[in-house]
Chains A and B, each alone.
Chain A
Amino acid sequence: MKNELIHLNHISKSYGGKAVLDDLDLVIHENEFVTLLGPSGCGKTTTLRILAGFETPDNGSVIFEGKDITNLPPNKRQLNTVFQNYALFTHMDVASNIAFGLKIKKKDKSYIEDKIHYALKLVGLEGFERRSVRNLSGGQQQRVAIARAIVNEPRVLLLDEPLGALDLKLRQDMQYELIRMKNELSITFIYVTHDQQEALTMSDTIVVMNQGYIQQMGTPESIYNEPENAFVADFIGDSNLFPGIFIKDELVTIDDVPFPCTDTGFGTNRPVDIVIRPEDVKLVKKGEGTVSGVVTDVIFKGVHYEMCVDVKGREWVAHSTRPRQVDEEVDINVHPYNIQVMNKPESEDEEAVRENG
């Protein structure tokens, strides 16, 4: 990929004895859209605040273009932040909000005017210069916050759950807007969210975090299709998560039923976690599948139907555009390629699996 821009070098941080980040190591490249994804309290916002300079790590360092900026105050960093609650200056109008950073840098008046105009155009708020920020809607405030950050031409834009307060439709529109802005600006975006759909839609790279550890890092496709552990599988998308036995290479059993798979190298007769996405569970006529079950529940979800199938006392979830009847007997087929085998967590501390297991 492109040049390395930021290196979070073995960062640890704790508050009042409780570790929030534990030996986090992360490299971010130039012009990359990186999303830190995880449930609340996973350390994603703390990571962002360390990047912005609002927090100092207890251990480790922040490297920006090869320079250590761990102790550089936020006003000296080439990063700008879009805050979760926008944090607009409510006693100023839209233009003054956007000009705030430029005035500090003592830019001349015509330059500032041009920049305000350009930024408002970029975020789709032309003609809003003299409006009071108090009277703007949530989506408009969000756009002003983005405009205020990008006029400073930061190398990196940090976004802390920027769409969290918007309604669903607006949120989806803003996702496309953000991708468009990112492409137009060609700068690095570091985006924090707990919304997996947002992360999958926008990112080049997703960093799944939980309890201060990176659980998995990769492209949206690899995170979705090849989750490395039960936490990632469960957090990203819907999934069937079963305990199984890895009999030998390319063969697992779930509840003693053998399923061929494509994974190798998990040993022999070893307990593993198995994830199968509901859309990969194929319901077929009785007698044509690998294992039989009874449909217990059918729910219409818009694009597809979600069906629960009872197989030997275990509930399988299947997605299909073709509904079945409740109490109908069906068989289940799963393509070997769609069976994802994962190591069981090593410790009691279930979720907190280290990046490399």
Chain B
Amino acid sequence: MKIRYKGIKRVYIGLIFIFMYAPIALLIIQSFNKSKSRGRWGGFTFEWYGSLFTDASIIEAFTNTILLALLSSVISVILGTMACICISKMKKKARNIMMGITNIPMLNADIVTGVSFMLLFLTLRIQFGFGTILLAHITFNIPYVILSVMPSYRDLNPHIYEAALDLGASPVYAFIKTVLPEIMPAILSGGLMAFTMSIDDFIITHFTAGAGVHTLSTKIYSEVKLGIKPEMYALSAMIFITVLILLILVNRVQGSARKEDA
């Protein structure tokens, strides 16, 4: 009886995993399918991956994606960390309001955020292009950084900074030497989160990119509209694997930060 019950649990969990990951597994399998016809297995190949790296427009989109992710995560980490310091110095009521405000963009539908950005840039007559995507990515990344850094900063013993001042450190030196190392795990995990979000994003990028500027996600979208090329399976599979690795990293960083606290 007991064994059968356990078996049912396993089957149930297996089913859930199949539902969740079957489409992605299929995508990854197809990316290695030699046959151009999707309905038939024509043998194993790296051909589509190979041809990805010879397509100049895809390489450009790849460069854009990585550059955007790097710049937006670094800038949002700096802005987000500064915001945390200021918000935590506020009185309780103001602090709660600020935290509410920073949480809203995360819950807001991407399509609404994207359209609002487009409207804003149009109104301000800002030329669409790499710059506008970057601005948008920085903006939607900051809340993730705050979400990650805030608890760590609030847990910090405030006297550590004062102790450094007391021992003769200038405010900047004291911050770099005492506060920063303590909140570094949280900053790293917030930055990785932002990096992932930036790579992952399609909708907001779609609305804030001008003509001719592509990231991988918008590139895939525009290619798919014209008819699916097998290279796109390879590209999607790569994005999936990249994001997966990043998420594992985020978890690792957070996990080790928690272990140190214990």
List the B side residues contacting A148 at CB < 8 Å: 163, 167
With a CB–CB cut-off of 8 A, which chain B residues contact A101?
167-168
Residue ID in chain A nearest B159 by CB atoms:
A87
Interface residue? A105 (CB, 8 A): yes
Q: Identify which of A75, A76, A81 gathers the most chain B CB atoms within 10 Å of its CB.
A: A75
Q: Could you tell me the distance between the alpha carbons of A84 and B163 in the complex, rounded to whole angstroms?
A: 11
- Which of A52, A100, A148 is most buried by chain B, counting CB atoms within 10 A of its CB? A100
Number of interface residues of B (CB under 8 A): 19
**A75:B166 contact, CB within 8 angstroms:** yes
B44 lies within 8 A of chain A by Cβ: no
Once the chains are docked, how many angstroms separate the CA of A14 from the CA of B210?
56
Bound together, the chains give a CA A148 to CA B164 distance in angstroms of 10
In the bound complex, residues from chain A placing their C-beta under 8 Å from that of B168 are 75-76, 101, 104-105, 152
Q: Does residue B157 face the partner (Cβ distance < 8 Å to A)?
A: yes
Which residues on A sit within 8 Å (CB–CB) of B174?
75
User: Would A54 and B162 count as touching, CB distance under 8 A?
Assistant: yes
Measured in the bound complex, the distance between the Cα atoms of B174 and A74 in whole Å is: 12
Interface residues on A, range: 20 to 34
- Asked if residues B182 and A80 are in contact (CB atoms below 8 Å), the reply is no
Q: Which residue in chain B gives the minimum CB-CB distance to A151?
A: B167
User: Which chain A positions have C-beta within 8 A of B163?
Assistant: 81, 83, 87-89, 148
Name which residue of chain A comes closest to B166, CB basis: A81
The answer to whether A100 touches B164, judged by C-beta atoms less than 8 angstroms apart, is yes
Q: Does B99 contact A (CB under 8 A)?
A: no
Tell me, rounded to whole Å, the shortest Cβ–Cβ distance linking B253 to chain A.
15
Cβ of B165 under 8 Å from chain A: yes
- Is residue A164 contacting chain B, with contact meaning CB distance below 8 A? no
Q: Which residues of chain A have C-beta atoms less than 8 A from B157's C-beta?
A: 85, 87
Docked pose: A101 CA to B174 CA in angstroms: 11
Chain B residues whose CB sits within 8 angstroms of the CB of A105 once the complex forms: 168
* Contact yes or no, A89 B169, CB < 8 A: no
Is A73 interfacial (CB-CB < 8 Å)? yes
Check if A321 is an interface residue, CB within 8 A of chain B: no
Task: Give every chain B residue within 8 A of A130 (Cβ-Cβ).
Answer: none
Complex CA–CA separation, A75 to B177 (angstroms): 14
| Residues in A whose Cβ lies below 8 Å from that of B177 | 89, 100
| Residue interface mask A67-109, B partner, CB < 8 A = 1 | 0000001111001110111011111000000001100110000
| Cα-based distance from A285 to B159 in the complex (angstroms) | 59
B160 to chain A: which residues have CB within 8 Å?
Answer: 87-89
Q: Tell me whether A74 and B173 are in contact (CB under 8 A).
A: no
CA distance A157 to B170 in the complex (A): 20
- Interface code A45-63, partner B: CB below 8 Å = 1, 0 otherwise? 0000000111000000000
Is A74 within 8 A of B162, CB to CB? yes
Could you tell me if B181 and A80 are in contact, using CB atoms closer than 8 angstroms?
no
B166 near A104 (CB under 8 angstroms)? no
Interface set, chain A 105-119, CB cutoff 8 A to B = 105
Question: Residues of B contacting A54 with CB < 8 Å?
Answer: 162, 165
Closest to A76 in B: B168
Q: Which residues of A contact B (CB under 8 A)?
A: 52-54, 73-76, 79-81, 83-85, 87-91, 100-101, 104-105, 148-149, 152
List the 4 shortest-distance A-B pairs measured between CB atoms, nearest first. A101-B167, A87-B159, A87-B163, A74-B165
Q: B residues touching A (Cβ–Cβ < 8 Å)?
A: 157, 159-160, 162-171, 173-174, 177-178, 181-182
